[in-house]
Structure 1
């Protein structure tokens, strides 16, 4: 039997410590406890399944460094990816499921190109492994995640949602994941276009970003809704809980655009 602690024990301890952190400290501390616990459980599970082994490398001996050989590639950037204004998100904007930018006179060809490009970017973001763990270790990105989670929880309270302390860590983690995805999308935009240009309180982004926000939300909604409901004790009949996910994603995207553009060398 492996000398490592079993994964269920780690997950159970993570849940207990998350509740303690939530009751005694604050939401950011709770998110950090969950990220560390879940990451540890994943690594232990993979080790016990034989997917990797922990080896001690003799001093002075160098082994070749693994380099990925296959990269998922996006579709080519659209020939026409118009600049659009993106203001601070309002949750009501996500209530309807109309196609992105339906109010703009974009041709069917341009819409198809934007949609295909956004789908590729969505896939890379949704399938990126250990996003929360990486974001928690990034001192530049994590504050935007914390702020977004706090704003989203405040929105939930203002709309009459009552949280269940026992399940709130799961809800908080779901919101944090949406926020991290929004931060990543914003950093991608800044890597391509440089420092964000602002017109008052509206950021200049690309039309493909609006398509990506909707696609990420649609891809994550089904798997994240159970996590949201786990942390809700009571909700009003006139508010859709699912709206918290796109709100968190878009808010983190908006907040990150105000930050400095990421270092292209570090991002590579």
Structure 2
């Protein structure tokens, strides 16, 4: 009986703490509480099911033995991944479903190579385990996630969207996940190229980054649209709700480029 009750207790505690956080501290702390609580419940369930065991190390400490079930491998680096400039995103850029960098003359071969690299990178980012929970626990990354979410909410309000209080936590969590994916993509760019170089207010990135942004948003749109609509009480006919996802991701990507190279990769 004790094994059956442990996971519901974690979920019940998460619900209570989420309500308290929402009433006292606001939306973003509530997302953090919900994310950590759900992650804890998943780990409890997996432990009870025997999917991983706690093993004692030589020093007597206990750690979770975990290995990824699938190891993705990216395609080789394209022969040409040109540097492009990336300005602060505006939502209208994502209204047209055009191929990435359609205004730049790239050969069909280069486009195919860039898209192949972007597809592999997008897959790894989308399948990163507990990405939002890790971002919430990272003092270096989370401020960019928060800022991107707030900018997206402000944009939505300015376009006439009204939020549903009961469903807004789901909407906010969907936006936060998109922002976390954008932050991870930016950190990947800094891992490969070092600290971002700026031309005025525009960042120098790689063409493959633009392809990766589109690949991620196209795939995540199908999964996250129900979460967005759950938090919307009213929307104007001239604004597409789906645009909040690529806008949030690209905004978080842009904001993170202003930061230092990730400490995890500094060595």
Normalising by structure 1, report the TM-score.
Answer: 0.91
SS in 2 for 1:33: helix
Contact 1:4 1:44 in 2 (8 A): no
Contact 2:191 2:265 in 1 (8 A): no
Q: Which residue of 1 aligns with 2:217?
A: 217
Q: RMSD of the alignment, in Å?
A: 2.5
Contact 2:174 2:228 in 1 (8 A): yes
Contact 1:19 1:165 in 2 (8 A): no
Matched length: 266
Q: Which residue of 1 aligns with 2:260?
A: 260
Query: Structure 1 52/23 Cα, relative in aligned 2: closer, same or farther at 3 Å?
Result: same
Q: How does 1:220-259 map to 2 (within 5 A)?
A: 220-259=220-259
Q: Which residue of 2 aligns with 1:185?
A: 185
For residues 54 and 171 of structure 1, the distance between their equivalents in structure 2, rounded to whole angstroms, comes to 35
**What is the deviation of 1:219?**
1.1
**What is the deviation of 1:52?**
2.5
Normalising by structure 2, report the TM-score.
Answer: 0.91
Larger CA deviation: 111-120 vs 230-239 = 230-239
Q: Deviations over 1:149-189 (max 9, x none)?
A: 11111111111111111111111110000000000000000
For residues 67 and 130 of structure 1, the distance between their equivalents in structure 2, rounded to whole angstroms, comes to 13
For structure 2, list consecutive stretches of 5 or more residues without a partner in the other structure: none
Contact 1:81 1:114 in 2 (8 A): yes
Larger CA deviation: 241-250 vs 10-19 = 10-19
For residues 128 and 115 of structure 2, the distance between their equivalents in structure 1, rounded to whole angstroms, comes to 20
**What is the deviation of 1:198?**
0.6
Contact 2:100 2:214 in 1 (8 A): yes
Query: Structure 1 150/60 Cα, relative in aligned 2: closer, same or farther at 3 Å?
Result: closer
Q: How does 1:41-60 map to 2 (within 5 A)?
A: 41-54=41-54, 57=56, 60=59
**What is the deviation of 1:71?**
3.6
Q: Deviations over 1:225-249 (max 9, x none)?
A: 1111111111111111111100110
SS in 1 for 2:261: coil
Instruction: Kindly indicate whether residue 171 of structure 2 is the aligned counterpart of residue 168 of structure 1.
Output: no
Query: Structure 1 67/40 Cα, relative in aligned 2: closer, same or farther at 3 Å?
Result: closer
Query: Structure 1 52/199 Cα, relative in aligned 2: closer, same or farther at 3 Å?
Result: same
**What is the deviation of 1:264?**
5.3
SS in 2 for 1:138: coil
For structure 1, list consecutive stretches of 5 or more residues without a partner in the other structure: none
